[in-house]
Amino acid sequence: MPMNLADMLSFADIAQLMRIAETYDCRSTNHSKNELIQSILSAVQKRDVLERKVDAMSPEDLRLLNSLLFEPREMYSLEDLTARALWTASDTHAGAARPEAGEEANKPAVAVRTTRQAEPKSAKQRKRPKPDAAEPAPQAPEQSARHAIVRFMRYGWLFNGITQHTRYLYQVPEDVKRRLCEVLEARFRAVLDVRGEPEAYRDEGTLLSADAVLFLRFVRDHDVALTTEGYMYKRQLGQVLGLLSVSEGLPARTAWRFGYGRRFREYPERFSLLYDYCCHRNWLRENGERLELTDAGLLAAAGDVAAEPSDLYRFWLRAYRVPVPNIMAVAQWTIRLASAWTTVASLGKALLPLVRPYYYDSAEDVLNRRVLKMMVHLGLLRWGEASDGTALVRVTPLAAQMVPAGDAGRKRNANA
């Protein structure tokens, strides 16, 4: 059951209330519990107080916060929160990113003591140098993650459940979510570059849904052979891509492609999502060396079952959630912020802090190619160019139906 901050404070023990009050500098030993709650509410409800907290947050804490704001779920286990904090606290997937000029830049610095290298040491004497006493040893990732969770509890943004079954779970007050969203939205909008309507733009609408039917009919009407690795042969893949509404080329052989779907390595982005979605709906069956339609697939090919745009959107969130853990927050913020024609560069300036690199994809690649480009394919964004060639995006009317902003949006996406 969703609860507001006042409700959660009333169930919190006095020790937690004192910690929160100390964080907001409103502690007084003369306060009763009720007065303590009122002083905390007064502090947290001030917009400038929340703004200062958000402005002082590290990029890691900012990503953790955004991973919680648009989630439909109400309760989180400690393990789930720790996992979220872990991926925000380190470059989990950046270590395999493309090497910069001079690969040595990516290697950790190693202290070398030349004065002691002249004399060879025995195996027993060879020991790792102890860290300098003046420099504290870095925290283990799990410890850093736990500290982030504790900070959020001290801010009054996370609370334990109130029943016997939820006492070891955590939840975020609904009104705190709303206020934090308002503060973050104002912060993000401050860097946006809003332009006038371009002369021409792309709006793919529901073409992805229509192309699902075209693809299924191709499989129904042709003998589609698969390689030993389970991929369509290039000749027939090219025929399929030629039928679809949006033209895509085959992936370059030199590209490293993984993480964004079962068949992403050999298929282009849009078709890979479409193919995986058809398999997810049990419309397609990879039967040894043949690709076949199931009974449900035959109905879909005949037009009796539709690929709903909202269902495709939810599937995309699930399919891309491992490489882009904050994908729901990034998609929601894009829809909120791009209510008018906005430059892609300024949108990136606002949202890139929420995105992490993923192996050979830089953070810019993840945002522009894996999120914004796919949102265009899903019919959520229009893509245009200003007169000077600047790339622009704007939310579509379809997006307002599929992903309404705010609390209603979180409820609508409960299955994502």
Confidence of residue 229 (pLDDT cuts 50, 70, 90): very high
Confidence of residue 107 (pLDDT cuts 50, 70, 90): very low
Average pLDDT rounded to a whole number, residues 108-121: 38
Instruction: With a cut of 60, say whether residue 407 has pLDDT above it.
Output: no
Q: What is the rounded CA–CA span in Å between residue 257 and residue 175?
A: 41
Strands 224-225 and 290-293: antiparallel
Q: What is the rounded CA–CA span in Å between residue 81 and residue 415?
A: 20
Instruction: With a cut of 60, say whether residue 24 has pLDDT above it.
Output: yes
Within 8 A by CB and 6+ apart from 288, the residues are: 226
Q: What is the rounded CA–CA span in Å between residue 50 and residue 181?
A: 10
CA dihedral (102, 105, 107, 111) positive or negative: positive
First CA to last CA distance, the chain: 19
Instruction: With a cut of 90, say whether residue 208 has pLDDT above it.
Output: yes
Do the Cβ atoms of 393 and 195 come closer than 8 Å? no
**Range 5-90+140-189: architecture per CATH:** Orthogonal Bundle (1.10)
Strands 159-160 and 169-171: antiparallel
Q: Which residues of 287-307 are buried (b: 16+ CB within 10 A; e: fewer)?
A: eeeebbbbeebbebbeeebeb
Q: What is the rounded CA–CA span in Å between residue 245 and residue 232?
A: 19
Which backbone phi and psi does 120 adopt, to 5 degrees?
A: -65, 150
CA dihedral (98, 104, 107, 111) in degrees, to 10, reads -170
Confidence of residue 118 (pLDDT cuts 50, 70, 90): very low
Helix ranges restricted to H, 244-294: 269-280
Closest CA to 190 of 394, 66, 50, 350: 350
Per-residue pLDDT, 141: 66
Tell me the percentage of the chain whose pLDDT exceeds 90: 61
Helix ranges restricted to H, 70-116: 78-89
pTM for the model stands at: 0.82
Do the Cβ atoms of 48 and 21 come closer than 8 Å? no
Kindly report which listed range (112-116, 120-124, 204-208, 261-265) carries the lowest average pLDDT score. 112-116
Do the Cβ atoms of 1 and 169 come closer than 8 Å? no
* Sheet-wide strand order for 284-287: 224-225, 290-293, 284-287
Per-residue pLDDT, 28: 60
Q: Is pLDDT larger for residue 103 or for residue 169?
A: 169
**Range 315-412: architecture per CATH:** Orthogonal Bundle (1.10)
Confidence of residue 253 (pLDDT cuts 50, 70, 90): confident
Per-residue pLDDT, 26: 81
Per the document, the length of the chain is 416
CA dihedral (116, 119, 124, 126) in degrees, to 10, reads 40
Which backbone phi and psi does 261 adopt, to 5 degrees?
A: 145, 165
Per-residue pLDDT, 1: 67
pLDDT per residue as tens digits for the range 138-160: 556 677 788 889 999 999 999 98
Ramachandran sector of residue 205 (left: φ over 0; alpha: ψ -120 to 50; beta: rest): left
Instruction: With a cut of 60, say whether residue 263 has pLDDT above it.
Output: yes
